Amino acid sequence: MARVKLTDVTKEYGDVTAVNNMNLDLKDGEFITLVGPSGCGKSTTLETVAGLTKPTSGTIEIGDREVTNLPPKDRGIAMVFQNIALFPHMDVYDNISFGLRLRDFPQEEMDERVDEAARVVQLQGMLDRMPSEMSGGQRQRVAIARAIVREPEVFLMDEPLANLDAKLRVNMRTELQRLHKQLDTTIIYVTHNQAEAMTMSDRISVLNKGELQQIAPPLVCYNEPANRFVAGFIGSPSMNFARATINDGQLDTDDYSVDFDATVVEELEDGDDVEMGVRPEDLYLADNREEAHDPSQPLGVETDVLEPMGDQIFVYLKPVGESGSGMGDVEERQGLLMSVDPDTDIVEEQSIEVVIDRARIHLFDMQTGDALSHGVVREAATAEADDGEAEAGDDGAQVS
């Protein structure tokens, strides 16, 4: 167990900067997830911690030691890989004990440790199998056993569930959490799947284009995203965004207007543009307006496409009288996405009235994308000035 600290870590490949000035400080025993779209630098960051890649600049500490220039084997780490990476020419016992053998452990202790690791991942009785004779889930367990058998200070996991089928993935998610509780080891977990990140971690660090966007507990990232990128990346389906102009206590978009308390964004004046974001679950039918913390005035819209999911219905909304959102890209889709209860009486092409929960409207700077305000009414608002010291942790939001 150990804390892990990255200070100003930068990795360049030729002209490409894979990781730019990354600062992370993980507490002992923390489960932290690096999440972001592919190419965001999360795997490269993990590789620098593992020692598989040497950072162009910056330092890495594990425990009390600076390990920037140490080879992987001397860093006290273990790693689970996306493609599982079991040695196909060794049986399960040899795979698990590989690291112990390299360190000349006595046979007896090796047996003991391998048995214990096999028990933890429920692989008893399979030690003499070859990886090729096992299922994907079993192989992943072997890979995990191989990692825990050495009792590392830090666990690194590079998309360990990405190659498993959907059902198995959900099971393994739970198992990893159980494992973390049991072992109480610092875990750095890389994934592009925001749902995995949300469900498993103590804190999430969201990366984009090699830069840290936000590091905070999952719900903070969800409720108070540091910028437009985090807001759009965390949460499924994604947040609705619209350009809005401030106009005398109102946020005017092309299609509708919402009253708001202009004092939550004191630095903005009438006529300024902001990016306004609303999550689908923060839209309500006007009839259910009491469910919202602070409902806006009703907006008249027309339903477009319905997507019944079973536990909820996604409703695509379009301005009254328009022909629909067409086949455009999701990013460019006009209109709003709203989620409603599955038993709601609603059909396609129906005129309805909806309200927006003003306590849950996020405003972002048009240019920088930085969050300006979460909630647009005074009592509910968490002003931008507050969240630096609040839940976001020691590093706060790293916003470029």
In angstroms, give the least distance from the CB of 147 to another protein: 8
- What would the two tokens of residue 80 be? 């689970």
Query: Of these, 1, 52, 170, 286, which contacts another protein (CB under 8 A)?
Result: 52
| Residue number, 72 or 324, with CB nearest to another protein | 72
DSSP track, 11-69: EEETTEEEEEEEEEEEPTT-EEEEE-STTSSHHHHHHHHHTSS--SEEEEEETTEE-TT
Residue 10 CB contacts under 8 Å (≥ 6 apart), including other chains: 17, 19, 20, 21, 22, 55, 56, 57, 58
Residue 96 CB contacts under 8 Å (≥ 6 apart), including other chains: 114, 117, 118, 127, 142, 145, 146, 149
In angstroms, give the least distance from the CB of 163 to another protein: 11
- 84 three-class SS: coil
**Residue ranges in 31-50 that form contacts with another protein under rule CB under 8 A:** 50
136 binding another protein? (CB under 8 A): no
Count of residues near another protein by CB under 8 A: 28
- DSSP letter for 291, please: G
In angstroms, give the least distance from the CB of 251 to another protein: 49
Which of 70-78, 122-130, 198-206, 207-215 is the region at the interface with another protein (rule: CB under 8 A)?
70-78
Query: Of these, 8, 57, 66, 71, which contacts another protein (CB under 8 A)?
Result: 71
**Residue ranges in 82-101 that form contacts with another protein under rule CB under 8 A:** 82-89, 98-99
Of the candidates 35, 59, 8, 398, the one whose C-alpha atom is nearest the C-alpha of residue 197 is 35
Token pair 């609603």 is found at 346
CA–CA dist 27, 13 (Å, integer): 30
What is the pairing mode between strands 31-35 and 16-26?
unpaired
**Residue ranges in 98-117 that form contacts with another protein under rule CB under 8 A:** 98-99, 102-103
Which of 58-66, 79-87, 127-135, 222-230 is the region at the interface with another protein (rule: CB under 8 A)?
79-87
Query: Of these, 11, 113, 139, 146, which contacts another protein (CB under 8 A)?
Result: 146
Query: Of these, 54, 178, 243, 293, which contacts another protein (CB under 8 A)?
Result: 54
**Residue ranges in 204-243 that form contacts with another protein under rule CB under 8 A:** none
Token pair 């890649």 is found at 53
Q: Contact positions toward another protein, by CB under 8 A?
A: 50-52, 54, 69-73, 77-79, 81-89, 98-99, 102-103, 146, 150, 156
